[in-house]
Structures are given as C-alpha cells and as structure tokens.
C-alpha cells in the first residue's frame, strides 16, 4: 500500500496531465462525430453518381418494427403463423398486425382486421388493440 501512495505522490502531476489529455480527446471526438451529416450526404456509389442517401434513407431503415418482421417471417405459412401467434402474450398480440385476440378467452391467433384466419364463427375479436364485431360488418365494438 505504501508503494502505491508513493507512486501517486511522485507522479501526481503526470497522472493529472494524462487524465486531462484523455478528457480533451473524448470532448473532441464527441464534437466531431465520425458520422457527420456531410459524410452521409456525400455518399457516392461505385460508378461515381451521387445516391443522395441523406437522413431520409436512414430514417426509413429505422422504421422497421419488430412486429412487422414477425409477420413477414411467417408470410405464406398460415399454420405456422397461427402457432406463433398463440405463443404471444396478450400485450404482444395486441401490437402484432398479423394476429388477432379472441373477445372471449383472450386466445391469440393468426388473423387481421377481417378476423381470425382459421375460425369461421362470427365472434368479436381484437386486432391491434381495437375491438371488432363481424356481426356488425366488422365495425368497431
């Protein structure tokens, strides 16, 4: 322990200078971000034409929702989608566009705003958290 105290006392000024340099480097990196607007706007393709990606393209890429990916992964496989929907919680079922929740029993299953895929009964159901009544032309409850 004495050696550590001796080291700190002897090299305190160097330690302070080192920490100040590190702090300034962090500030400089923060102010001059490597992903600046100019860098994205100046993106060019291999043939030299400006693709003008800008932030519009970046924002569109960020808008993909996990629920959309869930639905797309079962596209064309209704049986598998129905099984996957049945494993969702009530809250997750209510935010997934390819699943509906039964009005009675809260069972989640494949479907859309027209109703469940595999049940022909005209019963009320929830789609994206909204209640629909097929007996009234699928109007909201």
Domain boundaries, the chain: 34-63, 66-140
At 47, the pLDDT band (50, 70, 90 cuts) reads very low
Structure tokens that stand for 130 in this block: 């909204």
In the chain, alpha helices (H): 2-31, 37-41, 54-62, 66-73, 78-86, 90-93
Average pLDDT of span 119-141: 81
Spatial contact of 128 and 122, defined as CB atoms under 8 Å apart: no
Residue, of 79 and 134, whose pLDDT is higher: 79
Q: What pTM was computed for the model?
A: 0.52
Region 12-41: what's the mean pLDDT? 74
On the question of pLDDT at 94 being above 50, the answer is yes
Residue 51 CA to residue 104 CA, distance in Å, equals 52
pLDDT in tens, 104-116: 878 999 999 888 9
Confidence of residue 123 (pLDDT cuts 50, 70, 90): confident
């Amino acid at each position: 322990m004495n050696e550590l105290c001796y080291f700190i006392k002897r090299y305190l000024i160097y330690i302070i200078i080192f920490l100040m340099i590190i702090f300034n480097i962090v500030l400089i990196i923060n102010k001059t971000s490597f992903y600046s607007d100019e860098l994205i706007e100046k993106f060019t393709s291999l043939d030299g034409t400006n693709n003008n990606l800008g932030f519009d393209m970046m924002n569109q890429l960020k808008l993909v929702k996990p629920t959309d990916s869930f639905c797309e992964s079962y596209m064309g496989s209704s049986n598998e989608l129905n099984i996957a929907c049945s494993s969702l919680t009530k809250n997750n079922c209510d935010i997934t566009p390819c699943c509906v929740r039964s009005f009675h029993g809260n069972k989640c299953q494949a479907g859309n705003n027209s109703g469940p895929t595999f049940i022909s009964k005209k019963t009320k159901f929830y789609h994206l958290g909204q209640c629909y009544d097929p007996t009234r032309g699928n109007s909201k409850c």
